[in-house]
Amino acid sequence: MSVLPFDQRDGFIWMNGNLVAWKDATLHVLSHGLHYASCVFEGERAYGGRIFKSTEHSERFLTSAQLLDFEIPFSAAELDRAKQLVVDKNNLQNCYVRPVAWRGSEMMAVAAQNSTIHVAIAVWDWPSMFDVEQKMKGIRLDIADYRRPDPLTAPCRAKAAGLYMICTISKHRAERRGYADAMMLDWQGRVAECTGANIFFTVNGVIHTPIADCFLDGITRRTVIGLAKKRGIEVIERRIMPGELTGFEECFICGTGAEVTPVSEAGPYKFTPSAISRAMIDDYTAEVRPKQQAA
């Protein structure tokens, strides 16, 4: 199926404090963010025209920039208003929201302390990936070759563009082999996450998930943990070795794009999506939808 390239779409993008026509939201080829990965971003969703946990995303956006040693010239409140303005101006209800900030073109070297910090916000239509029954069939995960880095070697708590290089490579390899995504290990060979989503496992009614110390502690991840605990389901955050996966019953991933998606296999390990996966899908759907739509 043909997909319209993102640079050829219509609508409005918020850029450095102003709404501009989609085609006019451009940057120079010698922007530092392009060459040296001094770029951070967020992935958010709007449901029924309202952005889910917008302020949490804005605050993480600001923190990510600080971890890359630059300051975004807007407050969380200003970013919240700008994001909502873009959703409203583009007349979208269920959509993806992408704030991005990067160093500009004033300096072209590793050091770029005096570069202008640019900020843009774009939105596009993106409904849920699958219906519930389709989701409950589970997706297949490959095992990635690349591993999440030691926290002493990269700003792992930032949602930074450069950290996704190995994710893109791993996702491409997985898709070429017929998988939907890839599960990544950390630098010590322990289960970490997928290329753009956090991962959970269940056994005996308990949820287990890796400690988020070398990868992003996702806002969706924290939401799902809270929803599980609200149901009375115990959630254990711990180190998980790949060999343990043979003892788990269910597996699911979560993220802004994936929402909550069950997994049927991860490499040689098999799972059967069942009651806990279904409960998390239902609870997350109820949580993100405007209350009048969730009824």
Residues known to be catalytic:
159
- What secondary structure, in 3-state letters, does the chain show? CCCCCHHHCCCEEEECCEEEEHHHCCCCCCCHHHHHCCEEECCEEEECCEECCHHHHHHHHHHHHHHCCCCCCCCHHHHHHHHHHHHHHCCCCCEEEEEEEEECCCCCCCCCCCCCEEEEEEEEECCCCCCHHHHCCCEEEEECCCCECCCCCCCCCCCEHHHHHHHHHHHHHHHHCCCCEEEEEECCCCEEEECCCEEEEEECCEEEEECCCCCCCCHHHHHHHHHHHHCCCCEEEECCCHHHHHHCCEEEEEECCCEEEEEEEECCEECCCCHHHHHHHHHHHHHHCCHHHHC
Do 63 and 158 meet the contact criterion of CB atoms below 8 Å apart?
yes
- Angle 108-114-118 from CA coordinates, rounded to 5°: 85
